[in-house]
Structure 1
């Protein structure tokens, strides 16, 4: 057990700003997420492979651009560029939604589904890469669960804002709110970059201005080359399999239960709100205690156990229980799994933190979405019911917990020190 203070005096500024940064990032996303999710419910889960295929294509097209930015610019430059790109996209959708009566609704909705999905992948992935570059492994254990609470608070504020504003300002107004929140995030990035120069990791005063270099395909190459990164990618795929099965079943339930777009949006926002409140409670009561005392391995294992238990219950109960399963498993994924998994990247080199992590968190994730939703349709075609799908997802959850335990233990500083650049 660490005898160091939970947050040291010189860390307070960085923790507060990082907390605000993550609050704005997640609030910006969750303001628009219910709009995306109600589209899934409207068309049904059988159409999800088409949406995810389009998202995967967009992700693969953007990955080289992201890799080129990382290779050419220092982090204090390329991270804001990523956020400015998505602010521009948000602004571009505003007149489209204002003129939606003259635009094909399915085309506009599909485009926004892709944008919202890619937004989530890149913006959140860049945040955690940036955090892993600011702090060392010991700091990550102490500080990441606290910083993650900022995201939990933003994830609560986002759907609450949507529920309060969707009938007042419409989708176009929600996009403005989201863009403003991303703008505040950029200010936080520059404040953290300045703090980093004053408090460099392991005496590396040039980290803030260092250009990582390498080719834009370095993340993909390293993922397939490194046994450790392959394990991280498998961990991501298993977690994604669980989340995507639940997402598909929830979309079908919402579409069958709520007949209007507004009702489906409100239901999606409610699921997000309850899940994110529980996520915050888990981070306060469980995640930080586990990570500070024992490291990330127990947290990763616990996430797998929680998901497996909930899915086992779904296989037996079915029906409306899917809403409860969605709330609990989503809370565990972002309140337990995510801080623990992202803390592992503090112990690898800079290029892995940005390029390989981003490749896994974006391209691998969206490939998993496409593969899982296509498999769900294939299984349904041969008669697979909700209990069968839930049981298969339960096996994936249990496997994720096992692999997470192994990955976390393999990077324990006492067992396997890793040099940081």
Structure 2
């Protein structure tokens, strides 16, 4: 498995002179993107809890189709237009969609509740993948590999702070102003993110580590299907896709189990939305603690492999609580049952440790792969995993598999991911860009 990892230690994780301005802009950029998403996320979560996890394959199938359709569109954009055009255009599209949803939530008769729920679930899921993927692609394009190992843990803290702020805003405002005004808040935050992206592009042209590279911000060229093709032809991209599918095997199973628990426990949309916000808040507090006290110290010194191994190993332990618990729905920690504890722990470590480590690996590949292959992995592969796992869970339910059995399957995925992390941490410095596999 060709997962590149640099094991040579980086002496410090501090922000250096000349980097502060860009780090601050990156910080505000990511904070606004994640706050905008997490303001809307609890609304999406209560919709999935209301229909139950058995209906999730329909939601995931629609999301996968939408993502698969948009991935070539994004590939065509980056092939033809420079970075300074593509990034604002992507965010502008999602701002326009948010504004378009406001009358649908304000006037219930315009669309049936079920149709609105399906459309909004799919749109928020696509929104999340694309806006976050574009952010990290932009980051890997303006920072060098050495800078990514020092700065990505710091920048990732901003996203977690946004992920904490979003649920707090939703929990505080949903009973007072309703859903539609919250969509306006998200749209405003995305506009601020666009401004930060434009200022960052200007800084990168003048001071960025890659400014001396040829065509460092120009259109990357190539075809609109290059990203999907790279997953099958480039060993590195295949490996990153496999790692993401294993992560999906942890996250999607936990998500479905918690959705079932929420639907069975809470009887109305407000209670389900509040529970979803509280779950997000707990996971995001854990994430920011890890980013502050573990990741920003460990990633520069030990490299991405160690962080991936730690994330997967601890997730395996958390899933064991579900497997061996007499009642995985009984309160266990802080009033949360074992299924929620497993979700909080695995999600907290995924975003607090594994994601900064994984994205730092993409700084080593050419721009064409940073923009196309990375985006295809982070969008189409992720939603393909969601769909496959949800369909598999429904099939297993038909033969009697219950909560503990699903947790065991997820634990197996965590064990495999941990083995990949251990292998990455042990291998030496390898080629940043392996040659494509021969037919």
Q: Where on the TM-score scale, by shorter chain, does this alignment land: which range?
A: over 0.9
Q: Does 1:337 align with 2:354?
A: yes
Work out the CA distance in 2 between the residues paired with 1:205 and 1:348.
13
Instruction: Give runs of aligned pairs for residues 317-332 of structure 1, distance below 5 A.
Output: 317=325, 318-319=328-329, 320-332=337-349
The match for 2:10 among 2, 13, 23 is 2
The match for 1:234 among 234, 238, 242 is 242
The match for 2:411 among 361, 369, 394 is 394
1:177-221 per-residue CA deviation (whole Å, 9 max, x = no partner) reads 000000000000011101101123255265454110110100111
Work out the CA distance in 2 between the residues paired with 1:301 and 1:46.
31
Measure how far apart 1:323 and its partner are. 1.4
Query: Which 5+ residue runs of structure 2 have no aligned equivalent?
Result: 1-8, 330-336, 435-439
* Structural RMSD (CA): 1.5
Does the 8 Å CA contact 1:197/1:206 hold for their aligned counterparts? no
The match for 2:264 among 256, 278, 284 is 256
2:334 paired residue number:
none
Describe the shift of the 1:329–1:295 C-alpha distance in structure 2 as closer, same or farther (beyond 3 A): same
Does the 8 Å CA contact 1:56/1:363 hold for their aligned counterparts? yes
The match for 2:182 among 174, 180, 183 is 174
Instruction: Give runs of aligned pairs for residues 72-83 of structure 1, distance below 5 A.
Output: 72-83=80-91
Q: Does 1:295 align with 2:303?
A: yes
Describe the shift of the 1:324–1:276 C-alpha distance in structure 2 as closer, same or farther (beyond 3 A): same
Work out the CA distance in 1 between the residues paired with 2:349 and 2:59.
25
Q: Does 1:86 align with 2:91?
A: no
1:63-118 per-residue CA deviation (whole Å, 9 max, x = no partner) reads 12111111011111101111001101101100001111453100001000000000
Does the 8 Å CA contact 1:231/1:403 hold for their aligned counterparts? no
Q: Give the secondary-structure state (helix, strand or coil) at the position aligned to 2:236.
A: helix
Work out the CA distance in 2 between the residues paired with 1:273 and 1:350.
35
- State TM-score, norm by structure 1: 0.96
Does the 8 Å CA contact 2:204/2:211 hold for their aligned counterparts? no
Work out the CA distance in 2 between the residues paired with 1:415 and 1:130.
24
Does the 8 Å CA contact 1:196/1:208 hold for their aligned counterparts? no
1:53 paired residue number:
61
Measure how far apart 1:4 and its partner are. 5.0
Q: Give the secondary-structure state (helix, strand or coil) at the position aligned to 1:10.
A: coil
**1 or 2 for the larger relative contact order (CA 8 Å, sep ≥6)?**
2
1:194 paired residue number:
202
The match for 2:227 among 215, 219, 233 is 219
- State TM-score, norm by structure 2: 0.92
Measure how far apart 1:2 and its partner are. 3.1
2:332 paired residue number:
none
Work out the CA distance in 2 between the residues paired with 1:98 and 1:232.
42
1:354 paired residue number:
371
Query: Which 5+ residue runs of structure 1 have no aligned equivalent?
Result: none
Does the 8 Å CA contact 1:231/1:407 hold for their aligned counterparts? no
Work out the CA distance in 2 between the residues paired with 1:409 and 1:232.
17
Does the 8 Å CA contact 1:193/1:208 hold for their aligned counterparts? no
Work out the CA distance in 2 between the residues paired with 1:143 and 1:302.
20
Residues paired across the two proteins, number: 417
1:140-192 per-residue CA deviation (whole Å, 9 max, x = no partner) reads 01000000000010000001010111112211011000000000000000111
Give the stretch that moved more between structures: 398-407 or 298-307: 398-407
Answer 1 or 2: which has greater helix percent: 1
Describe the shift of the 1:3–1:397 C-alpha distance in structure 2 as closer, same or farther (beyond 3 A): closer
Work out the CA distance in 2 between the residues paired with 1:360 and 1:6.
30
Q: Does 1:145 align with 2:150?
A: no
2:135 paired residue number:
127
1:184 paired residue number:
192
Q: Does 1:266 align with 2:262?
A: no
Work out the CA distance in 2 between the residues paired with 1:409 and 1:190.
39
